[in-house]
Amino acid sequence: MADEAHILVVDDDQRLRSLLSRYLGENGFRVSTASDAEEARDKMRFLQPDALVLDVMMPGESGLSLTASLRAADASVPILLLTARGAPEDRIEGFESGADDYLGKPFEPRELVLRLRAMLRRTAPAADPPGPVRLGRLEFDTARAELIGPDGPVHLTGGESALLAALAARPGEVFSREEIAAALEMDDSGERAIDVQVTRLRRKIEADPREPRFLHTVRGRGYVLKPGI
């Protein structure tokens, strides 16, 4: 869902709009921009974005007001608010207006990408569970999170099973370490722990873990599972 999702960024700061447009585009999103709520409304008459990124403090109508009016009109588009006001009461006000998530300025663009992807996953229609995934002589049953070999079940630890389940749910798609950490409910600072889980899993599914056929490292990006016979 995240890849090629259409994001409408609404912010009166032209420099920030340009930065976000470029960065989100580099991370697989399609991006439109608007400088204020009025322009956003105009664009939403003919665009159907998959999510909105709204600045709270804008000239004229605020992001909070725009969010509340969209929810009053039964618009279900996911909304993430950006604001320099990070006090708890400000976040509460944002959620009460109908926002799905809230990110304080300044922020890391990478965190925005992760939050958008998580928000889109939460709001995506439920999909049928993927079928079994073939890994050479092994088969991973995605419904039961069970790895089966010619001689029967292959033992996986909880971490190995969760990692394989996450990768097998979106085969061929690159997962960053941050996304893997979120899927495994790990602290995203534990990159070494994720690499260890990958190494352990490769020992279970690869004939030669040093030359993996199925679980590949994508330099600078993360890991990807490529099933095959």
pLDDT, one tens digit per residue, over 169-208 is: 889 999 988 888 877 766 544 567 788 889 999 999 999 9
CATH architecture assignment, domain 6-123 = 3-Layer(aba) Sandwich (3.40)
pTM attached to this predicted model: 0.57
The correct answer on CATH 1.10.10.10 for the domain covering 133-225 is: yes
Residues of the chain with CATH 1.10.10.10: 133-225
Name the residue among 228, 134, 226, 132 with its Cα closest to residue 171: 226
Residue 200 corresponds to which tokens in the numbers above? Answer: 């352990």
Query: What's the confidence (pLDDT) of residue 120?
Result: 87
Residues of the chain with CATH 3.40.50.2300: 6-123
For the chain, which residues score pLDDT lower than 50?
1, 188-189
Query: What's the confidence (pLDDT) of residue 127?
Result: 58
Query: What's the confidence (pLDDT) of residue 1?
Result: 45
pLDDT digits (tens, 9 = 90+) for 43-63: 999 888 999 999 999 989 999
Query: What's the confidence (pLDDT) of residue 185?
Result: 66
List CB contacts of 31: < 8 A, sequence separation 6 or more.
6, 7, 8, 9, 20, 21, 24, 25
For 104-172, the DSSP string reads ESS--HHHHHHHHHHHHHHHSPP-PPP--EEETTEEEETTTTEEEETTEEEP--HHHHHHHHHHHHSTT
Burial 117-146 (b: 16+ CB within 10 A, else e): bebbeeeeeeeeeeeebebeebbbebeeeb
Burial 22-40 (b: 16+ CB within 10 A, else e): eebeebebebebbbbbeeb
Identity of the amino acid at 174 = V
Sign, Cα dihedral of 208, 209, 215, 218: negative
